[in-house]
Structure 1
Amino acid sequence: MDQFNSKDLALRTQKKVLSRMASKTLANLFIDDTSGEILDELHRVSKEFTGNKAESQKVLKDLVKVAVKIGVLYRHQQFSQDELDLAEDFRRKLRRGAMTMISFHEVAFTFEYSIMVDLLTECRDLLLKLVAKHLTPKSHGRIRHVFNHFANPDLLTKLYSPGDPYGPHLKKICEGLNKLLEEGTL
């Protein structure tokens, strides 16, 4: 018979409530201004690429839900040392991905979608390992949805194609990533 644990109940409740409340307003409570601007640009890119406002909102909503849940787990010290090591690997890989993205933007004709796809796929797999014991299969599906969406070779190729409509979005995303890297946030 399971024992009642109020701490576990509070954590589950907090994750559930935050999951249901995922919105731009909630994201602003947990995500700094620069990250919010990057998310806004990712939404615009997604909307431009898919031509589907609902799908682009779903991708960003999934991203926010996952980020908030992982933040809650981290703040409540739910990760083991091995999982914290995975989190650090994920952070390093994400940082490398951001630097690669910026480099591809700043140095003309260097973009290779396969490198970005590989980095995003590795980030997805590390994140799935990190949350394997903590989040539901539905949340795992959200992680796959977000990373698979942005690792789409067609989306990446269009994003790095010179000019409109993606050029201004890529510029703003890279400026935001640069700021996060300089601040040590990423």
Structure 2
Amino acid sequence: MEMAESFKAKDVGLRAQKKILSRMANKTVAKVFIDETTGSLLDNVYRLMKAYTGNKKEAEKIVKNVIKTVIKLGVLYRNGQFSQEELRTAERFKQKFHATAMAIVSFSEVDFSYDRAYLMQALTECCASLRLLVKRHLTDKSLNRIESTFAFFTNPAFLDAVFCHNSEYADILNRIVADMNKALDEGGM
């Protein structure tokens, strides 16, 4: 009988939403949680990763991981699942992510300003904040998705290849930066 008392339909519904939406992490579902600018940004990030790795499947996996995480964050937020402390963590994450995005824009637009150590540290701090925010709500599998995504983007060889002067990825990076500038202007980052 004690088991029945601990059952809460809302909790089951929330778990089902997260699971269903993460399994359906396609463009249709993503549009509910990801605006057009962010969608374009993710498309260009996919192009960059695919060009860098030469591996379509790996690039798709990482972008899907980002989309799944964004969807799950949206579900948790819309259902009021974050505590006040977690909301403060979310705000710190947002501020750090915004500063990191601004640094990426700057590194792209100002020749010889790229600072790998700063960018790696900033992304590592973003990862830690995001993990702290969701650790009570998401499974280890989801937490590992976050880790693997940030691990890809903090890879020194990747960062150097993208941000080096006369990078072969300059065109794609310029499209990413244009999307980031638009997102920053719209308040989405």
TM-score by length of 2: 0.95
Calculate the aligned-residue CA RMSD, in Å. Answer: 1.1
1:31 to 34, 41, 49: 34
Alignment CA distance shift 1:74-1:153 (3 Å): same
Alignment map for 1:76-155 (pairs within 5 Å) = 76-155=79-158
Structure 1: gaps (5+ residues)? none
The CA deviation string for residues 25-65 of structure 1, in whole angstroms up to 9 with x for no partner, is 32223211110111011101111111111111111111110
Alignment map for 1:175-186 (pairs within 5 Å) = 175-186=178-189
Matched residue of 1:165: which SS? Answer: coil
Q: Does 1:59 align with 2:62?
A: yes
Distance 2:30 2:166 in 1: 30
2:172 to 169, 172, 180: 169
Distance 1:180 1:49 in 2: 24
The equivalent residue for 2:13 is 10
Tell me the amino acid that sits aligned with residue 151 of structure 2.
N
Tell me the amino acid that sits aligned with residue 67 of structure 1.
V
The equivalent residue for 1:43 is 46
Tell me the amino acid that sits aligned with residue 99 of structure 2.
R
Question: How far off its partner does 1:164 sit?
Answer: 5.6
Structure 2: gaps (5+ residues)? none
Distance 1:182 1:103 in 2: 15
Answer with 158-167 or 103-112: which moved more. 158-167
The equivalent residue for 1:159 is 162
Distance 1:28 1:158 in 2: 31
Tell me the amino acid that sits aligned with residue 48 of structure 2.
V
Distance 1:83 1:33 in 2: 27
Matched residue of 1:79: which SS? Answer: coil
Tell me the amino acid that sits aligned with residue 73 of structure 1.
L
Distance 2:54 2:144 in 1: 22
TM-score by length of 1: 0.96
